[in-house]
Every structure is written in structure tokens, then in C-alpha cells.
Amino acid sequence: MKVDNISRRKFLKLSGLTGVALTLGYYLPADAKEAELITAIDAENRGIELNSWIYIDVSGKVTLYSHRAEMGQGVYQSIPQIIAEELHVDLDKVNIVFAPGDNVKYGNQITGGSSSIRGSYKNLLNLSATARVMLIKAASNKWGALESDCYAEDGSVFHKLSGKKLHYGELVLDASKLNIPKNVILKKTSEYKLIRKPLQRQDTPLKINGTAVFGIDKVIPGMLYAMVERNPRLRGKVKSFDDSETRKIPGVKQVFVVRMGVFNTFREGVAVVADSVWAAMKGKKALKVDWDDTGFEHLSTDDIYRRMDEALQKEEGLSFLSQGDPNSIIQSAEKKIDVVYTTPYQSHSCMEPLNCIAHYQKDKVEIWGPIQAPEWVQDYISKELGIAREKVIVNMTFLGGGFGRKAFMDYPHEATMISKEIGAPVQVIWSREDDVTQGPYRPGVSYRCQGVVSDNEISAFKVSIAGQNNNHWRGGAKDVANRSSTEGFLKPYLDNIKNLSIVDIPFETPIPTMWWRSVYASTNGFAYESFMDELAVESGKDPIAFRRTYLKDERSRNLLDKLEEVSGWKNKSKGYGVAITECFGSTVGQIVKVSKNIENQLQIDQVWAVIDCGWYVNPDIIKAQVEGSIVMALGAATIHEITFKEGKTVQNNFNNYKMPRISDIPPIEVHIMENDSDAGGVGEPGLPPFAPALTNAIFDLTGKRIRKLPFELTKV
């Protein structure tokens, strides 16, 4: 399999325009509802930028030019599996090449929101089926046979009656001259031979022998290395620096102040450019920098949460959703639940620290790196440096983890600024300390949940939220409630709880925040589903039976049935907890079982997860994503948090921002719901339900309600 970067224009020069291939792509402008199928040559003539396209050459080899980055979620496997299914070729005949964006007309190229498959699968299916129909048509024309007497299999077209056979490569020239047929009939789910099968990922062989090229592994001729000493206070300028010791280190070439954009703010650092990573690292260590952080409040974590708590108790906030009259029911109720849930700030801490290569060449910048959002990088650098958009070329590599952090422009911007200063290509590598201390972080959020239960049902439900809104960092309006205030919470609850109010209390700190795997659902899920459990306990009903009162739709009911079935819920003993959340179009329910071991320490015995992601491609990749999400959630719930002291991040590496280890992982069983509803996300939805399922299980076992994350399992 080929891993390469190529621009469509370059690709057309190499191949398409010479007329030896069938190229077919789809074009989906940002404002259009349906994608248009079009040949690459027509696209070139019309000046259209295709979102994805396939290319079948005279040897019959199929290449997909894909617009999605691979950061672990398995796009490398899933997209070819879709293509091969409808094109009727062997999976190993499909190559995949990253197609970096180079035009404003290009569709959404951001690998985020668990959208790689759900955003494109219908178009990819249609694209592949259409190409197959064109190849069949070309063959039937050649043979003078009826189209209905011909069929495609294993990359060839066969004539049923005569047994004649032509492979795709022999047909591409003729097929490329045909009109593109409309409304091609797609296969039924039951007819799939590749989709829904647990086929092995094609990138695995590259990732077990060191040959997969991540951003940090990329080498450009003449490239220098840089590391940057950064302000430990997340904001501010360089007052002065002393580089006398740094310059003594052999290999250090230049030392200078570099400015990097972080959303709408800027941050300065001191760059050390050297001929090796190690020299740059040593040089960085030897620097003495005096920082000016005027205007940056020296906050500590305690201050942040105290202020949140005050805001939750006193402030009215902005209404996100209001139905019925929960406020008066709560006020007049004799017995009510009024509790606060707290979730921490978290760092993405991808195993591959941030890094980026930039080569600035006056009117052009070329970038190589682990990048989730090439389009945003293009936009930002074009704007900041006054370079034409198409002259900002972003090449994507494998990503050593992303989790949202690599969908950001700061590190490519910084690399570009350094390359501009030195006039040479440069790779900027962030140390692990930079990666952990600099953010932006997932915001910590506090929730005040008030509820009243009467006659075994919820009579009033109110959730007030105080936490930083990521949108504010992107210039979003501050006088409207966070549009993600109920992200994670199942929609049927909103439909079926009559007296309900969701309030967002605007909360600001100078700490930069951004999206983190599953975004708001990662914190919302804990509050909403813990609260739901408290209400269930109050009602005296079984937690799943209680949820059934509100989750009446067929998909929710099936998911609850499945959860009960796989976990043996109906015959359960003590120590079981359940939580169900929705995230990026998929619903995941989890049941956690806990017990105390002989040393009277709490342990997690088992996790059962059921995901309903609608139409799906590869069950094994889905299971892997859910397993991984649970491990990440376990860390965020019971092991690590980012805290601040006097405006500085306290944690700086894996010795104090600790990670789950192999011995911490309980057995995890993942089940997938079978249905043909629209595909939902897979990379993130497995994360949010874990923490509440765990704390609900702990309550079931011990009667102790945990409302603050993270907590130490051994101290429960």
C-alpha cells in the first residue's frame, strides 16, 4: 500500500490528462445537499476541486485519493473497504493516497467529530458503484452484448453467456468516454461481502516494523531542527533572554523570539535552531528567559472551581432549553435532589508530541506534519503571512494520536514563522513538557443538577452548567448559551421529560481550551448520567427500567435490551452501574461491574459496551475504538487531571500526568447493534458513558456517590 501525498493537479499532470485511466470523483460544495459525480478531467476543465476520487489505471489498479487523515481510527481500512465492496475488486487492489487540500472549494477535510466515515460513505458507495456500472457498460459495448448479461467480479467484467472476460484495466479507456450514469442501485446490507466484515487493517504491517512515517519521522533535505522555550504561564511575551550558554552548544545555529497564534491570542517563545534534535533540546535547556505575562491572571485550580461553584449557586445564566416549569416545582418540593458534579481539565497528550516541518519560500509555504485539519492550517497561514491560499501546501503524515489537539493551527504556524526567520526548512518538535504544559486543554466543567421525583417519575429536571466555552476562543458570541449544552444527553430524554431546564452560565478564565475526544459529551455525560442514576435511585426503580420510561424509541429500547442481555443485568448482584450517552450520531451504553478485593480495595471486574452507530464498515475497528475510548475515559476518571498553580500548569510529563497502564485495564466486551440507520461516529462515542457507569456501579456497591472527577479507585 502506498502512503503518499499528491495534489490533484500534480496527479492529473502525471496521469489523468494523458487519457490512460478512468478517474471519477465526487464534488460536494459546502452549501450543496447532494454530491455530484464527475470525472477528474471535467473537474479540471470546470475548475472544480473534488472531495475524493478514484483512479483506475490500465493495469486495473485502483487508487483512492482520500481527504481524510489517519490518526488511529482506521480510515485507512474503512474507506478502501467501502470502495472495494461496490467496485467489485479485491481489497488489496485498492491503494489509498492522502489528497491534501489546495483550494477553497474543497469540502470539509477536517478529521474530527468522528466524521470520516459518516460524512462520506454514501458518496463513496455511489462513486464506486457508478464506476463499476461504467466499466460493465464499456464491456457490453465492446462485446455488443446486453448490459444485463454482464457482471463484474474480482476486478473484471464477465459475459454470462459466452464466458468472455475483460479486466478493468482493459476497459478504463472506453469507460472514461461514457456519460456518467445517474441513480445507480447500491447493494443491500445483506449482499455485502467486505463491508461489515472484521477485515484486517492495511496499515498494521507498517506499524509493527517501524516503517509507518509519522510527522516526527519525516525528513526534508536541508532541514534543521528547532525547539522552543515556552512561557510556563500560557500567555505573554518575552521580556529578555540570555542565550550565552545556548550558543556554546555545538550544533546550535540560531536563537530568536518566535510568535505563535493561539486562537485570537498570540504567545511568544524563544526558538533554538540547531543541526540536530538533541542540540536544540540542550540549547533550549540552557536558555534563560524573562517572561512578561502582564494581564494574565495567576489562577489556581481551587480558584477556578470555587468561582464555578459560586456562579452555579448565584447566577441566572443563559437558557439553552426550557420546557414546562421545573423551577417552581423544585422550589415548592418537599424533597429534592440538588447536587454539583465536577469534571477536571485534561490534556490530549498524544503519544506523538506535536511537531511540524515548514519550508517557507517567500511566496510559498510547504508543510509536513501530523495534521487533523489541513484546511484550517491553510486558511490560517495564508491569512497570517499574506500568502495565497493555494501556495500553502499542507502534506499529511500518519498521526501518532490526535484526539482533537492536532486539529489546530498553532504548531504549523510556529514552524512556518521559524522557517521564515532562518530561510530554510525546519522541523519543530515540542518536548513532552511543552505538550503537557501548554494546552489548550479540555475545559473542566461543573454542573449543578436539581431534580424532583414523584410517583416514580421525574417531575422536574434542571441542569446548570458552568465551564469554559471553547467557542469563545474562536470568537463565538458570549451572550448565547453553549450550543453543546446537552451534547452527550440522549435526545429522547429531552422529548419526554416535561419539566426540564438546561442553563449555561458563562464562565471565563484565561486558560486556552479546545475540543478533546468526544468534546462536551466527555464531561456532560458524567453529569447527566450520574444525575439520571440519582433520580432512578430516588424513584426506587431499577436504573435501566427507570430510563425506559423516557427512552421509548425503538433504537434506544433495542440498545437497553442488548445491554441487559450481554451483562446479565436482570440477575445482577450488587456493584453494577449503567450509563448511556449520545455523541456524534451514535449512542453507546455501558455497564460496569465493580467489587472489593480481599484487601478491601475497589476493582473493576468487567465493562460491557453496546454501540449503536447505524450503518458501519468494520466491526473490529469499531470494537478497537470503543475499547480505546474506555481506556482513555478510565484515565480521565480515575488517574489524571491538569491543575494550575499561580497561572502555571502543575503537571509536565507522564511522571505526574499519569496514564492508565496495562494492569489497570479491566476486561472489556464490545457489542455492535445491527441496523441500517445513517452511519454515526465511531472514534469518540465510546468515551462519555464510562465514567458515570463506573461511579453508578460504585454507588450500587458501596452507597457512596462520587460527584467529582478524577477520584482514586483505591481510596473509595
Partner 1 sequence: MKTLWAYLLKYEFYNCLIFVFFCLIFINLKLYNKLSCIDKCHAFHLLKKQYYMAIINLKINGKDYPVDVDPQMPLLWAIRDFVGLKGTKYGCGIAQCGACTVHLNGQPVRSCSLPVVAVANKNITTIEGLSEDNSHPVQKAWIEEQVPQCGYCQSGQIMAAAALLSKNASPTEADIDAAMQGHICRCGTYPRIKRAIQKASETKPSKE
- How many whole angstroms separate alpha carbon 139 and alpha carbon 172? 10
Q: Report if residue 662 touches partner 1, rule: CB under 8 A.
A: yes
- Residue 434 Cβ, how far from partner 1 at the closest point, in Å? 11
Which residue lies nearer to partner 1 by CB, 112 or 402? 402
Q: Report if residue 207 touches partner 1, rule: CB under 8 A.
A: yes
Whether the Cβ atoms of residue 69 and residue 96 lie closer than 8 Å to each other: no
- Residue 432 Cβ, how far from partner 1 at the closest point, in Å? 4
Whether the Cβ atoms of residue 86 and residue 125 lie closer than 8 Å to each other: yes
Instruction: Tell which one of 136, 463, 630, 691 touches partner 1 (CB under 8 A).
Output: 630
Q: Report if residue 593 touches partner 1, rule: CB under 8 A.
A: no
Which residue lies nearer to partner 1 by CB, 106 or 411? 411
Q: Report if residue 627 touches partner 1, rule: CB under 8 A.
A: yes
Which residue lies nearer to partner 1 by CB, 161 or 351? 351
- Residue 213 Cβ, how far from partner 1 at the closest point, in Å? 7
- Residue 156 Cβ, how far from partner 1 at the closest point, in Å? 29
Q: Report if residue 476 touches partner 1, rule: CB under 8 A.
A: no
Which residue lies nearer to partner 1 by CB, 518 or 625? 625
Q: Report if residue 69 touches partner 1, rule: CB under 8 A.
A: no
Could you tell me which of 665, 683, 682, 664 has the C-alpha nearest to residue 673?
A: 682
Instruction: Tell which one of 273, 544, 632, 694 touches partner 1 (CB under 8 A).
Output: 632
Which residue lies nearer to partner 1 by CB, 129 or 350? 350
Q: Report if residue 351 touches partner 1, rule: CB under 8 A.
A: yes
Instruction: Tell which one of 51, 81, 231, 349 touches partner 1 (CB under 8 A).
Output: 349
- How many whole angstroms separate alpha carbon 296 and alpha carbon 241? 20
Which residue lies nearer to partner 1 by CB, 312 or 630? 630
Q: Report if residue 426 touches partner 1, rule: CB under 8 A.
A: no
Which residue lies nearer to partner 1 by CB, 351 or 480? 351
How many amino acids of this chain bind partner 1 (CB under 8 A)?
64
Q: Is the peptide bond before 440 cis (omega within 30 degrees of 0)?
A: yes
- How many whole angstroms separate alpha carbon 98 and alpha carbon 79? 12
Q: Report if residue 639 touches partner 1, rule: CB under 8 A.
A: no
The DSSP secondary structure of 662-697, one letter per residue, reads GGGPPPEEEEE----SPP---SSTTSTTHHHHHHHH
The DSSP secondary structure of 503-539, one letter per residue, reads EEEE---SS-B---TTTTHHHHHHHHHHHHHHHHHHH
Could you tell me which of 376, 306, 379, 386 has the C-alpha nearest to residue 342?
A: 306
Q: b/e for 544-576, b at 16 or more Cβ within 10 A?
A: bebbebbbeeeebeebbebbbebbebeebeebb
Instruction: Tell which one of 11, 121, 168, 214 touches partner 1 (CB under 8 A).
Output: 214
- Residue 609 Cβ, how far from partner 1 at the closest point, in Å? 12
Place of cell 504544559: 437
Which residue lies nearer to partner 1 by CB, 63 or 349? 349
Residue 558, φ and ψ in degrees, nearest 5: -60, -40
Q: b/e for 239-258, b at 16 or more Cβ within 10 A?
A: eebebeebeebebbbbbbbb
Q: Report if residue 665 touches partner 1, rule: CB under 8 A.
A: yes
Which residue lies nearer to partner 1 by CB, 110 or 365? 110
- How many whole angstroms separate alpha carbon 654 and alpha carbon 665? 18
Which residue lies nearer to partner 1 by CB, 36 or 275? 275
Angle at 460 between CA 458 and CA 462, to 5 degrees: 120
Instruction: Tell which one of 292, 303, 561, 620 touches partner 1 (CB under 8 A).
Output: 620
Stretch that binds partner 1, among 121-129, 136-144, 205-213, 330-338 (CB under 8 A): 205-213
Site string for partner 1, 74-113 (x = CB under 8 A): x---------------------------------------
- Residue 276 Cβ, how far from partner 1 at the closest point, in Å? 5
Which residue lies nearer to partner 1 by CB, 278 or 491? 278
Three cell numbers written together for 544: 435501566
- How many whole angstroms separate alpha carbon 457 and alpha carbon 549? 8
Q: Report if residue 432 touches partner 1, rule: CB under 8 A.
A: yes
Three cell numbers written together for 80: 478502501
Instruction: Tell which one of 45, 59, 189, 211 touches partner 1 (CB under 8 A).
Output: 211
- How many whole angstroms separate alpha carbon 644 and alpha carbon 635? 19
Instruction: Tell which one of 217, 292, 379, 542 touches partner 1 (CB under 8 A).
Output: 217
Q: Please, what is the end-to-end C-alpha distance for the chain in angstroms?
A: 50
Angle at 152 between CA 147 and CA 157, to 5 degrees: 75
The DSSP secondary structure of 556-605, one letter per residue, reads HHHHHHHHHHHHTGGG--S-EEEEEEEETTEEEEEEEEEEE-TTS-EEEE
Residue 598 CB-density burial (10 A; 0-12 exposed, 13-18 middle, 19+ buried): exposed
Q: Report if residue 709 touches partner 1, rule: CB under 8 A.
A: no
Instruction: Tell which one of 17, 20, 180, 212 touches partner 1 (CB under 8 A).
Output: 212
Instruction: Give residues 400-419 in contact with partner 1 (rule: CB under 8 A).
Output: 400-403
Residue 178 CB-density burial (10 A; 0-12 exposed, 13-18 middle, 19+ buried): middle
- Residue 250 Cβ, how far from partner 1 at the closest point, in Å? 6
Instruction: Give residues 221-240 in contact with partner 1 (rule: CB under 8 A).
Output: 225
For residue 274, what is the DSSP state?
Answer: E
Instruction: Tell which one of 59, 200, 240, 601 touches partner 1 (CB under 8 A).
Output: 200
Which residue lies nearer to partner 1 by CB, 20 or 206? 206
Whether the Cβ atoms of residue 478 and residue 471 lie closer than 8 Å to each other: no
- Residue 189 Cβ, how far from partner 1 at the closest point, in Å? 23
Whether the Cβ atoms of residue 692 and residue 526 lie closer than 8 Å to each other: yes
Q: Could you tell me which residues come within 8 angstroms of residue 560 by beta carbon, excluding any fewer than 6 positions away?
A: 544, 547, 548, 551, 580, 589
3-state SS class at 212: coil
Q: Could you tell me which residues come within 8 angstroms of residue 292 by beta carbon, excluding any fewer than 6 positions away?
A: 236, 237, 238, 239
Q: Report if residue 688 touches partner 1, rule: CB under 8 A.
A: no
Which residue lies nearer to partner 1 by CB, 134 or 624? 624
Which residue lies nearer to partner 1 by CB, 183 or 655? 655
Q: Report if residue 603 touches partner 1, rule: CB under 8 A.
A: no
Q: Report if residue 438 touches partner 1, rule: CB under 8 A.
A: no
Stretch that binds partner 1, among 188-196, 273-281, 446-454, 694-702 (CB under 8 A): 273-281
Instruction: Tell which one of 352, 487, 533, 684 touches partner 1 (CB under 8 A).
Output: 352
- Residue 222 Cβ, how far from partner 1 at the closest point, in Å? 14
Q: Report if residue 431 touches partner 1, rule: CB under 8 A.
A: yes
Site string for partner 1, 13-52 (x = CB under 8 A): ----------------------------------------
Whether the Cβ atoms of residue 559 and residue 673 lie closer than 8 Å to each other: yes
Three cell numbers written together for 26: 465526487
- If you compute the radius of gyration of the chain from its CA atoms, what whole number of angstroms results? 27
Instruction: Give residues 373-402 in contact with partner 1 (rule: CB under 8 A).
Output: 398-402
Could you tell me which of 679, 568, 579, 578 has the C-alpha nearest to residue 621?
A: 679
Stretch that binds partner 1, among 68-76, 103-111, 464-472, 636-644 (CB under 8 A): 68-76
Instruction: Tell which one of 189, 204, 319, 573 touches partner 1 (CB under 8 A).
Output: 204
- Residue 112 Cβ, how far from partner 1 at the closest point, in Å? 15
Positions that interact with partner 1 (CB under 8 A):
71-74, 200-201, 203-214, 216-217, 219, 225, 250-251, 276-279, 281-282, 349-353, 398-403, 429, 431-432, 620, 624-625, 627-632, 653-655, 659-663, 665, 667-668
